[in-house]
């Protein structure tokens, strides 16, 4: 199969997906048709260098169009349900819900937890995109926790601070806020607990930004 046939096959498949997902007369389909004509075109044809340039421009245009369409489709998907209440022994259910909440962060993740351990990095934050800024505020940073945090910090966009005034479990994912009844490392293992989304995210953030400002930087990368 030639490169032209491969590209045409990809175009046909992509157009079918966009038409099925958004409708034949949608803006997404219109953007697809605009993207496939990116570049310079002449009645007498184009030189090989121009043809390569046109291919690169089409690829960039298709990439932009697809990223926008995927983001739109993600917004249309129903949000995963958060159970909210957990019996002793429901730690796996709580893990799944916390993983979902952490995944909501597209730009900024801010975790406040009085007693964190390595699992915060190994279990919950390992798959977060490097473009997401991550901050963690806890009571004490020492030993193995510091070692793992320093390794995690190599991703960039990460800071861990400590403060004796930390008593709550709170997660901010972009503009949303959740309150956790126990420290993440022990939540729902032996005692019942909860996760509740807080309606006053802005007020909560103001409180914890102040606490963050007064905390001591332990690890930064």
Phi, psi of 18 (to 5 degrees): -65, -40
Between CA 216 and CA 42 the distance in angstroms is 63
Q: List per-residue pLDDT tens for the chain, 221 residues long.
A: 466 777 788 788 888 888 877 888 888 888 888 888 888 877 777 788 887 887 888 888 888 888 888 877 766 655 566 768 899 999 898 888 989 899 999 999 999 999 888 889 888 888 888 899 999 999 989 888 899 999 999 999 999 999 998 888 999 999 999 999 988 888 889 999 999 999 899 999 999 999 999 999 999 99
Provide the pLDDT for residue 1: 46
The pTM is what?
0.65
Sheet architecture: strand order including 85-86 = 85-86, 193-197, 176-180, 169-173, 108-112, 133-138, 158-162, 216-220
Domain 85-220 has CATH 3.30.870.10: yes
Which are the contacts of 1, defined by CB distance < 8 A and separation ≥ 6? 9
- Answer yes or no: are the C-beta atoms of 104 and 122 closer than 8 Å: no
Between CA 141 and CA 162 the distance in angstroms is 7
Task: Please report, for the chain, the start and end positions of each structural domain, with discontinuous segments joined by +.
Answer: 3-76, 85-220
Provide the pLDDT for residue 79: 58
DSSP state string for the chain: --HHHHHHHHHHHHHHHHHHHH-TTSHHHHHHHHHTT-S---TT---HHHHHHHHHHHHHHHHHHHHHHHHHHHHHSPPPPP--EE-TT-HHHHHHHHHHHHHT-SSEEEEE-SS--THIIIIISTTS-TTSEEEEEES---HHHHHHHHHHGGGSSEEEEE-TT---EEEEETTEEEEESS-TTTTTTSS-EEEEE-S-HHHHHHHHHHHHHTSEEEEE-
Q: Which residues pair with 110 in a beta bridge?
A: 135, 172
């Amino acid at each position: 199969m030639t490169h032209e046939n491969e590209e045409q096959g990809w175009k046909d498949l992509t157009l079918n997906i966009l038409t099925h997902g958004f409708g034949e007369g949608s803006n997404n389909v219109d953007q697809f048709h605009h993207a496939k004509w990116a570049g310079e075109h002449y009645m007498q044809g184009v030189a090989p260098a121009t043809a390569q340039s046109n291919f690169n421009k089409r690829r960039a245009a298709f990439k932009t169009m697809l990223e926008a369409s995927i983001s739109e489709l993600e917004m249309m998907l129903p949000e995963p349900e958060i159970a909210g209440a957990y019996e002793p022994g429901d730690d796996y259910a709580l893990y799944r819900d916390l993983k979902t909440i952490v995944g909501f962060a597209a730009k900024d993740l801010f975790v406040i937890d009085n007693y964190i351990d390595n699992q915060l990095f190994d279990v919950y934050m390992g798959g977060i995109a490097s473009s997401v800024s991550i901050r963690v505020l806890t009571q004490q940073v020492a030993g193995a926790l510091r070692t793992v945090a320093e390794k995690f910090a190599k991703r960039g966009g990460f800071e861990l601070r400590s403060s004796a005034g930390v008593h709550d479990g709170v997660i901010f994912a972009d503009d949303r806020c959740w309150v956790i009844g126990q420290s993440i490392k022990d939540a729902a293992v032996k005692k019942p607990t909860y996760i509740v989304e807080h309606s006053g995210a802005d007020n909560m953030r103001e409180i914890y930004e102040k606490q963050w400002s007064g905390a001591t930087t332990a690890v930064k990368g």
